[in-house]
Structure 1
Amino acid sequence: MGMALSLGRRGLGRVWPNPNVGCVIVRPCENGGRVIGRGWTADGGRPHAETRALDSIDAAGATAYVTLEPCAHHAKTPPCVDALIAANVSRVVIATGDPDPRVAGKGIAILRAAGIDVMIGVREDEARVDMAGFLLRITENRPLVTLKLASSFDGRIAAATGESKWITGPDARRKVHAMRAAHDAVLVGAGTVRADDPTLTVREMGAVRQPVRIVASGRLDMGAANLLATINYAPLWLCHGANVDAQKWVDQGAKSLPCDLQGREIDPVDMMHKLAAAGLTRVFCEGGGSLAASLLGAGLVDEIVGFTAGIVLGAEGTPSIGAMGLDRLADAPRFDLVETTRIGADIMHRWRRALLYAT
């Protein structure tokens, strides 16, 4: 199952709206077993992992290890349970069930009805971490949100003048590009676009599937020269107020996603519902401070990744998180520490929302 999980991670950021599943086919032998097939969900979500693992092999009597309950419904491809049954596998070991109502136990029931031995729950916690975005989209109608903060030792993202390039070093920035590549989309607010005119693409990582670039702007009151200049290279989606005319952006190739407003700002809950409806499962938010505060305040941030540099900017600098209106520590969102790692001259620390992946 460890190999299947590792294979499934190859699909992170590449297979939405489908889950990033891995599958390994093992034939029993005197030494315990021999891998005869392996697969992971292909870019764009098809073919599925089981189909790829079974391709061109004789799997009769073999055991299939798969990280998610095999699908049991007809969509653009036939059900994976049918492929496993047709291959005459004798056993299927599953990490975790699929909450999609079209599957949700039906895949397991069909396999067992066909006389196949099924075991479920092997390394389930790891599988739920890997596929949290897909699981959240099905169960909570929203994608997983990772908030990235690159700040000074005292939590500032820019000097008093607005200068912010570069607080962290090149190794940290390269790590951020790898994290972008492992998400379906990169999200920023209009203030970040006005201040930095970013491209938000993945660079220095070879040929990769570019994430969707998303800008949250209630009034679309920003320029976006670099985002528009690269629109044929990576998609651009705009989350804006429903009463805002986005046609000039659409004419240049952007996708318009009208959202509800809270005052003059985007309602973060409605925005996440709209992004889930569009198929996204994993969103990497890179600021700014107001957008980060709104997502945290709405309980929508699942993981925080901080890159902290050994530089101090003082109270005059721009804080990494905007005002949240908190009066008590008990009301502040809390996260569990997952890892702390040195990245070049900086420190990366990763935190996860408590109980997010509880089974």
Structure 2
Amino acid sequence: MAALSVDELVGRDEWDHVIVTQRRPFVVYKFAATLDGRIAAQDGTSQWITSAESRAEVHLLRAGCDATVVGSGTQQADNPNLAVRGNDDPRLDLSIVDDPERQPLRVVIDSNAKTPRDANVCNDAAPTLIVVAEDADSAHLDGVVDVLRVERAGRGLDLRAVLAGLLERGVRAVFLEGGPTLAGSFIAQGLVDRVVNYVAPALLGSGKSGLEDAGIRSMSDILRLELVHVARSGSDVRLVSRPVR
């Protein structure tokens, strides 16, 4: 497998441009789907849509970013660990990243603080930040993980405030792994800078879509993407694109 590194995905000068001009981290949105755009079957099962090679490569991309971000829906449905070298892939050669021992910050955007204290993201495999609304009761997380409070906005939290809080913590690049509702909110607010899509040669016909409500209501509002990279990843196809703005 010719693994893709973050440096190949995006130049560091682009990170710096976003940080300086928008005062937020660079955001990479990753999702894996079937040919018909499904990320889970109708019964909710999703392991595994893509190949072992693709799943291993995702850990290299995680390792190259400063934070891995998911929403509360993904946390509740999958209870992911989110640390590099998760138990779903082989031991990886992380020599291509700056510091193979460094674990990215695990971030759960959880408006109502529903993440339980015994969730996998609350273990000691990597540092964790739970982002909650200012009025949420997060007492059960005291002494377990760090908590960031931000204002509510629309259907969730103020994502620009979330990103500003991450930047203050030294996060320069975010690896957004879902779910589809959170990704839709990021895209609706123009906060995604790269899209990495692993497409498996498979069909489901029903089940969860890879993206939900991104604020696009007609073809005149469609978000066009520019393909910057296309390659094989095991039995899958890897597509990397950036929004045309």
Normalised by the length of structure 2, the TM-score is 0.87
Which residue pairs with 1:137 in the alignment? 19
Say if 1:202 and 1:210, in contact at 8 Å, map to a contact too.
Answer: yes
C-alpha distance in structure 1 between counterparts of 2:233 and 2:155, whole Å: 38
Which residue pairs with 2:34 in the alignment? 152
Question: Partner amino acid for 1:348?
Answer: R
Secondary structure of the residue that 1:156 maps to in structure 2? coil
**What displacement does 1:262 show?**
1.7
C-alpha distance in structure 2 between counterparts of 1:335 and 1:298, whole Å: 15
Which residue of the other structure, out of 169, 178, 187, is the alignment partner of 1:278? 169
Where do 5+ consecutive residues of structure 2 fail to align?
Answer: 86-90, 94-99
Superposition pairs of residues 85-100 of structure 1, within 5 angstroms: none
Superposition pairs of residues 118-133 of structure 1, within 5 angstroms: 129-133=11-15
Question: Partner amino acid for 1:205?
Answer: L
Which residue of the other structure, out of 172, 177, 199, is the alignment partner of 2:59? 177
C-alpha distance in structure 1 between counterparts of 2:109 and 2:217, whole Å: 27
Superposition pairs of residues 294-333 of structure 1, within 5 angstroms: 294-314=185-205, 316-333=206-223
C-alpha distance in structure 1 between counterparts of 2:224 and 2:162, whole Å: 23
Do structure 1's residue 337 and structure 2's residue 230 form an aligned pair?
no
Secondary structure of the residue that 1:239 maps to in structure 2? strand
Count of aligned pairs: 228
CA-based RMSD of the aligned residues comes to: 2.0
**What displacement does 1:273 show?**
1.7
Return closer, same or farther for 1:143/1:239 CA change in 2, 3 Å cut-off: same
Q: Which stretch of the first structure deviates more once superposed, 242-251 or 331-340?
A: 242-251
Which residue pairs with 2:47 in the alignment? 165
Secondary structure of the residue that 1:279 maps to in structure 2? coil
Say if 1:202 and 1:208, in contact at 8 Å, map to a contact too.
Answer: no
Where do 5+ consecutive residues of structure 1 fail to align?
Answer: 1-9, 14-125
Secondary structure of the residue that 1:307 maps to in structure 2? strand
Larger RCO: Structure 1 or Structure 2 (Cα < 8 Å, ≥ 6 residues apart)? 2
C-alpha distance in structure 1 between counterparts of 2:217 and 2:244, whole Å: 21
C-alpha distance in structure 2 between counterparts of 1:170 and 1:325, whole Å: 33
**What displacement does 1:264 show?**
4.6
Secondary structure of the residue that 1:186 maps to in structure 2? strand
Say if 2:188 and 2:216, in contact at 8 Å, map to a contact too.
Answer: no
Say if 1:181 and 1:208, in contact at 8 Å, map to a contact too.
Answer: no
**What displacement does 1:225 show?**
1.9
C-alpha distance in structure 2 between counterparts of 1:335 and 1:173, whole Å: 24
Say if 1:201 and 1:211, in contact at 8 Å, map to a contact too.
Answer: yes
Which residue of the other structure, out of 107, 122, 136, is the alignment partner of 1:214? 107
Which residue pairs with 2:240 in the alignment? 350
Say if 1:159 and 1:317, in contact at 8 Å, map to a contact too.
Answer: yes
C-alpha distance in structure 2 between counterparts of 1:247 and 1:278, whole Å: 22
Deviations 1:152-186 (A, max 9, x none): 11111000000000000100001101100110010
**What displacement does 1:297 show?**
0.3
C-alpha distance in structure 2 between counterparts of 1:170 and 1:185, whole Å: 22
Say if 2:223 and 2:244, in contact at 8 Å, map to a contact too.
Answer: no
Question: Partner amino acid for 2:148?
Answer: L
C-alpha distance in structure 2 between counterparts of 1:300 and 1:276, whole Å: 14
Question: Partner amino acid for 2:119?
Answer: A
Return closer, same or farther for 1:141/1:250 CA change in 2, 3 Å cut-off: farther
Which residue pairs with 1:228 in the alignment? 122
Question: Partner amino acid for 2:16?
Answer: F
